[in-house]
Structure 1
Amino acid sequence: MSKKILAINSGSSSIKFKLYLMPEEKVLISGAVDNLGASDSQFSYKTDKASETRQLPIKDHSEGIQQIIEILETSGVVKDRSEIYGVGHRISHGGNYYTHAVEVTPEVEKRIDELKVLSPLHNPNGLIGIKAFEKFLPDAKETVTFDNSFHHTIPKKAYMYALPYEFYEKYHIRRYGFHAPSHQYVSEKARELFGPEQTKRMITCHLGNGASISAILDGKSVNSSMGFTPLAGVVMGTRCGDIDPEIIPFLEEELHIDSHEMRRIMNEDSGLKGLSGVSNDEREVEKAAKNGNERAQLALDVFVHSIQQYIGAYTTDLEGLDTLVFTAGIGEHSAFIRSEICKRLGYLGVKIDEAKNKENALSIEAPDSKVKVAVIPTNEEIIIARDVMKVTQAQ
């Protein structure tokens, strides 16, 4: 019997949503609430029959969710809220507690709240979303898809940090990896499109305001650039990525700031934004660089270089490379960034067709490239919806 499943993907200042008819995986309505907390917040949605974009003040995630539920009813995709069988939420950090999607329980909510110190930009807002749906859709089954669950197959040699072992035993300090639904979706899609042999050794690049690189061997994650928290790895929109850990106490002492302020600086004021002084939006930084802004150009150079380093390292983990995948906002739409990254990967057999690259084609490799290079739009929401079905049917 078909069921209506709502997938909720809460970011730090946005909420993406899709209502599916499952298991057919038919999208009934999709949309987003962007720029939450601002006077010009944007609410947009699309159905088979209509689409609309509105600008209105939406102060927080709870208000944004109320707008989403109202549009489900007024658009006609549901006649009554009770038609929504389940709601799936993407939560950034599940720590060492969860290796797969789970039903929402008071204990799960407690764990999500406990782990907010490790994902300060996302876990709190995800929990707000869960509680809001408990209020607005009390009869719907709620599940959680964790942003690190796909990476539970990473081997111990890759996820351990060289700290005293008791820190791992007592505090579960290790590499977790994030953007799991995205890396899972595009790696599965690549295997479906190109076959298991062409995608045996694959590197997936999720490049957006948040960015991460994953090594996928035979469909399983064996390494990922984000670490104990989503702050680690490559340079991002506002996050610094990998830095020498001694920088942290040095700046705290020099600036007379505490760890909370230092954490805020690394999460909110760094990355492309901090280096360029222009914006966290790669498009704005690229535009400034083309107009001669040297700091903007430097920010792009550092961003690209950090990605190239991880691709090189993960090719070693995989003992070669068959397919390179780009996804997410920058990965799917910035021909410039893809071209810059691939320029230094010729030694791996990567060669792209610039005409196809500019068209954002599915396959952008040149005919004589030894590596398949793909641009695959991510779909984290379908992974969330599938997880709702798996969890609720297993009960």
Structure 2
Amino acid sequence: MYRVLAINPGSTSTKFAVYFGDECVLRKTIRHPLEQLLRFKSVVDQFDLRKGLIIEVLQEEGIEVDSIKYIIGRGGLTYPLESGVYRVNNRMIEHLREGVLGHHASNLGPMLADYIALQIPGAKAFMADPVVTDELEDVARFAGHPKFQRRSIFHALNQKATARIHAQKVGKSYESLNLIIAHLGGGISVGAHKNGRVIDVNNALDGEGSFSPERSGTLPVGQLIDICFSGKYSKEQIRRMVVGEGGFVAYLGTNDAQKVEKRADHGDTEAAIVQEALFYQVAKMIGEMAVVLEGKIDGILLTGGLAFNPELEKYIRTKCGFIAEIYSYPGEDELEALAMNGLRVARGEIEVKEYKK
């Protein structure tokens, strides 16, 4: 029986799971208090803390670590890659440490997988569908000025996993479908999936598309320039306005979408209009991707934590129901998605790719 350890580092948590075949035998979420993380200058500096905690929990739970031969981590900000499963190599680790496209908790995923695999005879480390998965058509890369280029940074792992789940549900292959998939979480990404490739998607990390619980999304450029040169804010403060302290955090003082939903349900008019504005912007993004796919769409899929909100689904159905049938897959299970990719490798169902950037 193939045994897989899946690792998903988040900004304030480390999630991991052990699968024996298709069965999940252990699933853990370690929360990292903010005061603990503030001791570190960078995300990469948290490596020793996180790997020590993973190993400690595995031992406490009686997991026979040496029996695990496939360790797969959530992919981070390497150079852009096609979708797929990649073997972790030294060059990848080097680029994640350097932060060639930025520093993010997901950079630790392949690093942690690699370290643990090196402790186990015969074990191998992988990453799957990293956030920099890039399948954009050339025309989608133009930003409007040669000094700028649109980048593909999005929730590739969950979007691809949701697409495959849906394809199985409808009895077709992912590669035969045209889908619009909206990942609705702390960040929001809406992708146009054409025959198994995401040919256009917003950069969900640093400033495209709808605002989200903690990100500002697309901002009016002229106003942003004025703020940047006003002398009132540092570069870091402005960056936090865009990622971390935007969206619900800026408007309502919380990144908890469930709290916002409850406030709106209980008559808080400010919460209600801000929530509706988020819904509105997501609907517009879905419309944009409908144009990308020339109206030939087999389904609109809603996923991520915000998809649990029945008002959001209702709103999207009202605004976008004329485009295609809407399907809801609320929540995300990136650990299961990682584990299933690991099992596909173990069973020889997919070809492992090499990172050569």
TM range (shorter): 0.7 to 0.9
User: C-alpha offsets along residues 97-127 of structure 1, whole Å, 9 cap, x if unaligned?
Assistant: 66543222332112123336x4444345547
Using the alignment, how far apart are the partners of 1:72 and 1:310 within structure 2?
42
Unaligned residue ranges in structure 1 (runs of 5+): 40-58, 350-370
Aligned to 1:254: 230
Offset at residue 61 of structure 1 (A) = 6.3
Counterparts of 2:80 and 2:113 in 1: how far apart (Å)?
Answer: 20
Go from structure 1 to structure 2 and tell me whether the alpha carbon gap of 1:197 and 1:3 turns closer, same or farther (over 3 Å shift). closer
With 132-141 and 213-222 compared, the bigger mean Cα shift is at 132-141
Counterpart for residue 364 of structure 1:
none
Q: Within 2, Cα distance between the matches of 1:161 and 1:138?
A: 48
CA distance in 2, matches of 1:388, 1:346: 36
1:379 to 329, 333, 340: 333
Residues 309-351 of structure 1, C-alpha deviations (whole Å, 9 max, x = no match): 11111111122233121212121x21122112222224336xx
Give TM-score scaled by structure 1 length.
0.75
Q: Is residue 54 of structure 2 the alignment partner of residue 68 of structure 1?
A: yes
Answering whether residue 90 of structure 2 is matched by residue 112 of structure 1, we say no
| Distance verdict in 2 for CA 1:305–1:61, change over 3 Å | farther
Which of 174, 196, 210 is residue 234 of structure 1 equivalent to?
210
Shift of 1:243: 1.3
**Whole-angstrom distance in 1 between the partners of 2:125 and 2:173:** 37
Q: Residue 190 of structure 2: SS of its match in structure 1?
A: strand
Amino acid paired to 1:27: C
Q: Give the aligned partner of residue 165 of structure 2.
A: 189
Tell me how far 1:12 sits from its aligned partner: 1.0
Q: 90-99 vs 291-300, which deviates more? A: 90-99
| Partner amino acid, structure 2, of 1:34 | R
What CA RMSD, in Å, does the superposition of the two structures yield over aligned residues?
A: 3.1
Other-structure match for 1:298: 273
Question: Could you say if the C-alpha distance between residues 261 and 186 of structure 1 is closer, same or farther in structure 2, counting changes exceeding 3 Å?
Answer: same
CA gap 1:125/1:284 in 2 versus in 1, 3 angstroms: farther
Show the 5 A alignment for 1:1-395. Answer: 2-21=1-20, 24-37=21-34, 62-76=48-62, 78-79=63-64, 81-96=65-80, 100-115=84-99, 118-123=101-106, 125-126=108-109, 129=112, 133=116, 140-148=123-131, 151-164=133-146, 167=147, 173-196=149-172, 200-226=177-203, 229-277=205-253, 279-320=254-295, 321-331=297-307, 333-348=308-323, 371-375=325-329, 377-388=331-342
Does the Cα contact within 8 Å between 1:5 and 1:88 map onto a contact in 2? yes
Instruction: Find the residue that maps to 2:243 and give its secondary structure.
Output: helix
CA apart distance, 1:134: 6.7
2: distance between equivalents of 1:20 and 1:90? 16
Instruction: Calculate the TM-score normalised by the size of structure 2.
Output: 0.82
In 2, distance between residues paired with 1:375 and 1:33?
25
Structure 1 letter corresponding to 2:130: D
Task: Give the partner amino acid of 2:212.
Answer: M
1:115 touches 1:123 (CA, 8 Å); kept in 2?
A: no
Q: Quick one: structure 1 residues 388 and 322, their matched pair in 2 at CA, closer, same or farther if it must change by over 3 Å?
A: closer
Gap runs ≥5 in structure 2: 37-44
Question: Percent identity at matched positions?
Answer: 20
Contact 1:112 1:123 in 2 (8 A): no
Other-structure match for 1:363: none
What SS does the corresponding residue of 2:284 show, helix, strand or coil? helix
Letter in 2 for 1:200: L
Aligned partner of 1:45 in structure 2 is: none
- How many Å separate the matches in 1 of 2:153 and 2:192? 11
* 1:354 paired residue number: none
- Checking the alignment, whether the CA contact within 8 Å between 2:130 and 2:156 is kept in structure 1 is yes
Deviations 1:84-103 (A, max 9, x none): 21321112322336654322
Measured in 2, the distance between the counterparts of 1:382 and 1:30 equals 10
Aligned-pair CA distance for 1:248: 3.2
C-alpha distance 323-109 of structure 1, shift in aligned 2 (>3 A)? same
Amino acid aligned to 1:310: M
CA distance in 2, matches of 1:128, 1:265: 29
Kindly indicate whether the alpha-carbon contact (under 8 Å) linking 1:207 and 1:328 is maintained by their aligned counterparts in 2: yes
CA 1:75–1:196 in structure 2 vs 1: closer, same or farther (change >3 Å)? Answer: same
Separation in 2 of the partners of 1:89 and 1:244? 36
